Amino acid sequence: MYRSPIKHCRNCGAAVAYRVPDDGDTRERAVCPACGTIHYENPLNVVGTVPHWGDKVLLCKRNIEPRWGKWTLPAGFMELNETTAQGAARETDEEAGAQFEMEDLFSVMNVERVGQVHLYYRARLLSEQFHPGHETIEARLFTEAEIPWDDLAFRTVKETLACYFSDRRQGAYGIHVIDVA
Amino acid sequence: MYRSPIKHCRNCGAAVAYRVPDDGDTRERAVCPACGTIHYENPLNVVGTVPHWGDKVLLCKRNIEPRWGKWTLPAGFMELNETTAQGAARETDEEAGAQFEMEDLFSVMNVERVGQVHLYYRARLLSEQFHPGHETIEARLFTEAEIPWDDLAFRTVKETLACYFSDRRQGAYGIHVIDVA
């Protein structure tokens, strides 16, 4: 898992207690009994792209857990000091080593169960040459018929790909807002 | 500020050191020399609504810092165990005490400088009666001409309101993706 429970204060190191702060808050937080620091935990953004080349889409075979060996769109956790689009481009570079041009936001998906929001952008590939990083076993292009639907790493990837090929058939791309169970 | 620097490990309380982890990462993280925990810090989502009633929009006068006394759309930090839309609805209830029906996602704004992504939904008000909470001095409706443009709390509120009234004039609402400096 990406986040372990908060046991100690980030400011002074004392053991925290979980309680509702006295500042009008309504949720339990990890509160430091020594220095008063309140620790908030909030959802994380995952940002990525749908890199496309003609009627094909680029997928990466994961060389990391979770879902080692499954296929995914290039994506990862958004970092500080970058926008959602910059983060999506960074992940596409790191995981696929692709050359591409960023296009519009394409999907916004809530994955409430794991406290994440996933945002995918369309990206137009400029070359068929890929140089995947250490997180990827293989990067290759798939037509809609070739997509390994049963071997995709995440539900958000499946939803985004389904929307992408559906929009492509209709000749117009929207922004898809989806709640993923 | 919402987040203080990480000085101690959340797992064991030891003082952390900032360095690039040995796992292929490229960024400095707060790493615990005692137990090895790597601490990640990522952007936060702020979720809110544009509550509308005829040709008017609901604004709240802030009773909290930052920007005490300035006008804002109801919005706040997205919490765990809720979707972006649920968080936006919660904030609208807490800050304005309004009755409303949630509509579509309207704006997605990167505020890179502070490590935030703001997402606003349109919300159709069902009543002109508001019961604002302790974070709000006053909640009231404004036509476009009445909006206190120079007394808005945040740039994201200004951008969202400008897009809203522009779309309203054109009779069609889109999803606006904006980088806010």
Using a CB-CB distance cutoff of 8 angstroms, which residues of chain B are in contact with residue A117?
45, 78, 84
Instruction: Please tell me the predicted confidence (pLDDT) of residue B1.
Output: 43
**Residue B69 sits at the chain A interface (C-beta within 8 Å):** no
The nearest CA of chain B is from the CA of A148 a distance in Å of: 28
Neighbour tally for A152: CB within 10 Å? 20
For residue A31, is pLDDT > 60? yes
What is the spatial order of strands in the sheet that B17-19 belongs to?
B17-19, B29-31, B38-39
pLDDT exceeds cutoff 80 at A2: no
pLDDT tens digits, chain B, 181 residues: what are they?
Answer: 467 899 999 999 999 999 999 988 999 999 999 999 999 999 999 999 999 999 999 999 999 999 999 999 999 999 999 999 999 999 999 999 999 999 999 999 999 999 999 999 999 999 999 999 889 999 999 999 999 999 999 999 999 999 999 999 999 999 999 999 8
- Tell me how many residue pairs between chain A and chain B have CB atoms under 8 A apart: 117
pLDDT for residue A181 is more than 90? no
Percent of chain B with pLDDT strictly greater than 90: 93
User: Which of 128-157 (A) contact B at CB < 8 A?
Assistant: 134-135
For the stretch B80-124, pLDDT in tens is 999 999 999 999 999 999 999 999 999 999 999 999 999 999 999
The nearest CA of chain B is from the CA of A98 a distance in Å of: 19
pLDDT at A3 over 80: no
> Closest chain B residue to A175 measured between Cα atoms?
B175
CB contact under 8 A, B11 and A15: no
ipTM confidence = 0.95
**B12, HSE (Cβ side, Cα atoms, 13 Å):** 11
Are residues B112 and A24, on separate chains, in Cβ contact within 8 Å? no
In the predicted model, is pLDDT for residue A94 greater than 80? yes
Residue A1 has pLDDT above 60, yes or no: no
CA dihedral angle for residue A119, residue A125, residue A131, residue A132, rounded to 10 degrees: 20
Q: Any idea which residue has 């979980």 for tokens?
A: A18
The span from the CA of A21 to the CA of A27, in Å, is 8
Length in residues, chain A: 181
How much is the mean pLDDT over chain A? 96
Other C-beta atoms lying within 10 Å of the C-beta of residue A46: 24
- Rounded to whole angstroms, how far apart are CA atoms B168 and B67? 28
